[in-house]
Amino acid sequence: MSLPGGTSRPRAASVEARLARLGFVDPIRARRMLDDPAMTALVGVADDRDATSIALVEAMGRTSDPDQAVLGLLRVSEAVAGGALRDDPEHGTAALVRAVREDDVARLRLTAVLGGSSALADYLVSHPRAWRAVATAQRRTGDELRDRLVSAVQPATRGARSAYDALRIAYRAELLAIAALDLTSPDPVADLPVTAEALAQLAEAALEAALAVAREEYGPGHEDCRLAVIGMGKTGGGELNYISDVDVIFVAEPAEGVGEDRALEVGTALATGLMKACSATTGEGSLWPVDAALRPEGKAGPLVRTVASHVAYYRRWAKTWEFQALLKAWVSAGDRAVGMAYKSALSPMVWEAAGREHFVEDVQAMRRRVEGLLPAGEAARQLKLGPGGLRDVEFAVQLLQLVHGRYDASLRSATTLEALGALAKGGYVGRDDAAELDEAYRFLRTLEHRIQLAKMRRTHLMPVSPIELRALGRSVGFVADPASEVQEARLRRSRNVRRLHERLFYRPLLSAAARLSTDDSRLSPEAARARLAALGFRDPAGAMRHLESLTLGVSRRAAIQRQLLPVMLGWFADEADPDAGLLAFRRVSDELGTIHWYLKMLRDEGSAAENLARVLGRSRYAADLLLRAPESVSFLGDPAGLAPRDVAALTAIMRNAAGRRDRADEAIAAVRGVRRHELLRVVFADLVGGMGIEAVGRSLSDIAEATIEVGLEIAIRSVEHATGEPVPTAITVIGMGSLGGRELGYASDADAIVVHQPHPGASEEVAQARALAVVQELIRLLAVPGAEPPVGFDTDLRPEGKNGPLVRSLESYAQYYARWAQTWEFQALTRARCVAGSRELGDALIDLVEPLRWRPGGLTPTQVREIRTMKARVEAERLPRGADPRTHVKLGRGGLTDVQWTVQLLQLQHAYAVPALRVTGTVEALTAATAAGLLTPEQDRVLRASWMLASELRNAGVLWRGRAVDSVPADVRDAGGMGRIIGREPGAPGALVEEYLRVARRARAVVDDVFYGAAGELGAK
């Protein structure tokens, strides 16, 4: 290293400062290399650099990584000078110096490649002759590439080299040329399609050359088979990456006079030879793996088939995704006539795929797969996979091609960007949207190319180190702060792409429906219907009408809905019943569209529109409730709107609402209005707020409790009004069953008994009569048909059941329980809890039943036997005719009743000694029983699982169908819809039955042990 004498320090500082300004990160090291004697011929000596030398240094400064460029140039010039090549007239040192110093283009290319790719720099060092390929790079046609590679592998040309090595060296020379042009392009993003096409053509040329090698290896007889190589994927699409698997399918036909079996045998050998010629690793490395897995039957199928055999396969067995793959088929190498025969036989089938059965389901499943492919931890850096990735764009474009290409031949391009352009031209996607996506796709692909080029590795991940990010940013033209600018630019594109489904799939539908597009090329009505069907709408014509009604016209409402619907359609389409969702939305909007807060809320409140769309697409029950009182959706605008109110707050609101009305019927209508609103809130919280079955049960119980409380007050006022005097007795409602246990479902009745206590001095007879009148009025009020389902107020659990009086005095209860009560009534009392009316009286009644239900010493053996017998009889008799005991979630084997009776038996037997068991809820009691050692943790888990799943299924049935469903549905659609509501994966409806059967079977085994006291005797069931 020669540093000239005394003046070097200040000058050095300024040289280094200039180098740093040019973009060198380590200017001291860079300067040392520039001063290396091996560089003298290129850049002169330190103190005497002419303009050309400076231009060279500046050229290096313009590359992605100047430090790497200077090191690369030093190494390459050493390699040229140090070997046999030194005096070669075309490749030697003199030629290199001439190229770098005198040829502006060559200079830029060499520095760009050396700075842009450390892997290519290494290659140039080990193959110094190849520098000329960089310097003299020119864009070649596919045919030229083919000629060059094929001739390179001929025995006459390749000389002492093996055919494999010759192929690799020729391939790399062309790859260097492509990289040189790409890296020096003034606008690489715009040029991306050209680069990607060149890479695909080079791969095809290599396939052709590899086939020639395979034929040579096979020797005489190879001509018995006419073999065509069909490029698939990005190769077939003419849009390849630098480093990628090359997807192919092989098609063989016999040469004239040859049998088919013979041809297939030779064809298989040739195909295998071809794959090996490309993928084998020699001293010259390997090209890329050739992947033939897209062929019929995948890896299990024969490698080579005839055209007829392909046709037969696709006609019968092919799945939707296989047709999608065929979109890209392109005759890449081998016998063109055979390849064209294959293409012309198969492409009609591709365009019929959208009409096949299961197309919609397949597409939805494929979409889930595309979005779900993302390995955890890479999400933020992935360019290819996941939502917003390149694969997403490609997939969406292909899907639209399949849907619309059936009727419009202009859409049948194998290349993503061409197809996108054609879709825009035909009006299938908006022009602006298409242009923006096109740019985003090019940009992201360019980044992918640059990342792959750097190390020549197959990767789709953004780099993490600041150095690599900086080089990446510089490689696409960012100068000021390349590392952060490139990340920012990438994020902006990914965000754009992420809204792709909205833009590509839904927005054009809206333009079509609204007839507002200024383009002549609007999506035609037929195309719109085809697309809606492909997205999962079962009645596309109806859906189109709804869209028209929602968006036609110039009103503010139509304008806002045009903005909202593209996104909302996507949410509807994700749900189990998109048609119902859209219809319900239309009806809600018809009601509320003119109210100012409604549209504002949907537009401005983050999740309001999504929650509304998802709930309407999922639940008929919610849609019914909402349509009766659309203004309830207002809680979606409130950030805390999905938090249910507690019973005290509810009672206060209802009391307030009732207090403003004089007549009982009006008052109860007001109360029931509040109830409906609250029910809807719980439904929303359940469906989109992840509320959980236990919380839903508590909230529904709270609503019922408050309704009964205020209803009782209204009933008392009503009776007082009619009789003209105060009711002379205190009245209390005791909740029983699931109301007592605070675990009501959407379709559960509110079980209750009513007690009264005459005021001191009041006539018992009058008190009883008035109390009865109050209860009758309460029952009437709760059952009045209204805008929401009536409260099923059920008093059948009262003493003497249906034959007993509706209400009794406290004393009468005391007498009855002391003298007449049967064991089942004590069992029912395990769930008794005061819910409305006088608390004092409620406490008195609870005190009264306490020693009955938690009887000291537990149950007698006779009582245990009675309960067991009764249960066995209920099992045999209560099940509705025709119901399957295996799948009936309430009364069936291992269902809700089984678990409840088991828990209650334990309570009756042990609660006197274990105070924690004195609770009314099933789950609470389970927990207490396990804590007390009455159940093993495993038994607890099994019973709890069954109770949870059965309860969830009952609720899901109501939500999905709008009415109670007591069995796991046998209908595939119902199973799908209910499964979706309880959070099961879509697309596997059969799994729900299997899951319930398993859970219930296990629960039944525990019930047999714990409740019946033994594993059931054989034959008893």
Residues that bind other proteins (CB under 8 A): 296-297, 301-302, 309, 312-313, 315-317, 358, 886, 970-972, 990, 993-994, 997-998, 1001, 1005, 1015, 1018-1019, 1021
**Would you say 42 or 1007 has its CB closer to other proteins?**
1007
Which of 913, 970 has the CB closer to other proteins? 970
Residue number, 319 or 855, with CB nearest to other proteins: 319
Shortest distance, position 886 Cβ to other proteins, whole Å: 6
User: Distance between CA 381 and CA 20 in Å, rounded?
Assistant: 29
Instruction: Confirm if 558 and 550 have CB atoms less than 8 A apart.
Output: yes
Q: How far is the CB of 308 from other proteins (least distance, A)?
A: 9
In which element (H, E) is residue 210 found?
helix 188-218
Instruction: Tell me the CA distances in angstroms from 715 to 336, 728, 732, 779, 805, one per residue in order.
Output: 90, 14, 13, 9, 18
Q: Of the two residues 376 and 1018, which places its CB atom closer to other proteins in the complex?
A: 1018
CB count within 10 Å of CB 389 equals 23
Q: How far is the CB of 1016 from other proteins (least distance, A)?
A: 8
Q: How far is the CB of 298 from other proteins (least distance, A)?
A: 12
Helix (H, G, I), strand (E, B) or coil at 313: helix
**Minimum distance, C-beta of residue 994 to other proteins, in the bound complex (Å):** 5
- Comparison of 240 and 1010: residue with beta carbon closer to other proteins: 1010
- Phi and psi angles of residue 634, each rounded to the nearest 5 degrees, phi first: -55, -30
Please, what is the minimum distance in Å from the beta carbon of residue 970 to other proteins?
A: 5
Shortest Å, Cβ 697 to other proteins: 27
SS (H, E, C) 852-877: HHCCCCCCCHHHHHHHHHHHHHHHHH
Q: Considering the complex, what minimum distance in angstroms separates the CB of residue 1021 from other proteins?
A: 7
695 vs 993 by CB, closer to other proteins: 993
3-state secondary structure 373-419: CCCCCCHHHECCCCCCCHHHHHHHHHHHHHHHCCCCHHHCCCCHHHH
User: Three-state SS for 682?
Assistant: helix
Name, in order, each residue with C-beta under 8 angstroms of 327's C-beta and a sequence gap of 6 or more.
350, 398, 401, 402, 412, 414
Which residue, 409 or 1018, is less far from other proteins as judged by CB? Answer: 1018
What is the per-residue DSSP string for 779-791?
Answer: HHHHHS--SSPPP
Residue 848 and residue 842 in contact, taking contact as beta carbons nearer than 8 Å: no
Cβ atoms of residues 351 and 327 within 8 Å: no
Number of Cβ within a 10 Å radius of residue 769: 15
Separation between Cα atoms, residue 38 and residue 33, nearest integer Å: 9
When the beta carbons of 302 and 805 are compared against other proteins, the nearer one is 302
Nearest residue (CB) to other proteins, 703 versus 965: 965
Where are the alpha helices (H) located in 644-752, listed in sequence order?
647-659, 664-688, 693-723, 737-740
Backbone angles phi, psi at 255, to 5 degrees: -70, 165
Instruction: Name which of 228, 233, 234 is nearest 271 in CA terms.
Output: 228
The answer to whether the beta carbons of residues 744 and 704 sit under 8 Å apart is yes
Shortest distance (Å) from residue 302 CB to other proteins: 7
Q: How far is the CB of 695 from other proteins (least distance, A)?
A: 30
- The nearer residue to other proteins, 613 or 1000, going by C-beta atoms, is 1000
465: exposed, middle or buried (Cβ count in 10 Å: 0-12, 13-18, 19+): exposed
Work out how close the CB of 943 gets to other proteins at its nearest, in angstroms, rounded to a whole number. Answer: 16
Q: Least Å distance between CB 868 and other proteins?
A: 19
CA atoms lying within 13 Å on the CB side of residue 830: 29
Q: Strand 807-809 to strand 750-758: parallel, antiparallel, or no bridges (unpaired)? A: parallel
Pick from 264, 456, 249, 439: nearest CA to 332: 249
Nearer to other proteins, 308 or 479 (CB): 308
Least gap, CB of 194 to other proteins (angstroms): 41
Q: Give Cα separations from 680 to 628, 644, 696, 955 (angstroms).
A: 11, 10, 12, 14
Q: How far apart are CA 705 and CA 202, in angstroms?
A: 76
Closer to other proteins at the Cβ: 842 or 969? 969
261 or 520: CB nearest other proteins: 261
Work out how close the CB of 161 gets to other proteins at its nearest, in angstroms, rounded to a whole number.
37
- Nearest distance from residue 306's CB to other proteins, in Å? 10
Q: Residue 119's closest CA among 597, 496, 453?
A: 453
**Shortest Cβ 796–other proteins spacing (Å):** 33
905 neighbors 926 (Cβ within 8 angstroms): no
CA–CA distance from 537 to each of 579, 583, 931 (Å)?
Answer: 6, 11, 51
Q: What Cα–Cα distance (Å) separates residue 205 from each residue in 127, 196, 332, 333, 942? A: 22, 14, 8, 7, 64
Minimum distance from CB of 989 to other proteins (Å)? 9
The Cα 454–Cα 169 span in angstroms is: 19
Which of residues 29 and 886 has its CB atom nearest to other proteins in the complex?
886
CB of 922 to other proteins, least distance (A): 24
484 close to 458: Cβ distance less than 8 angstroms: no
Radius of gyration of the chain (CA): 39
C-alpha span between 27 and 33 (Å, rounded):
10
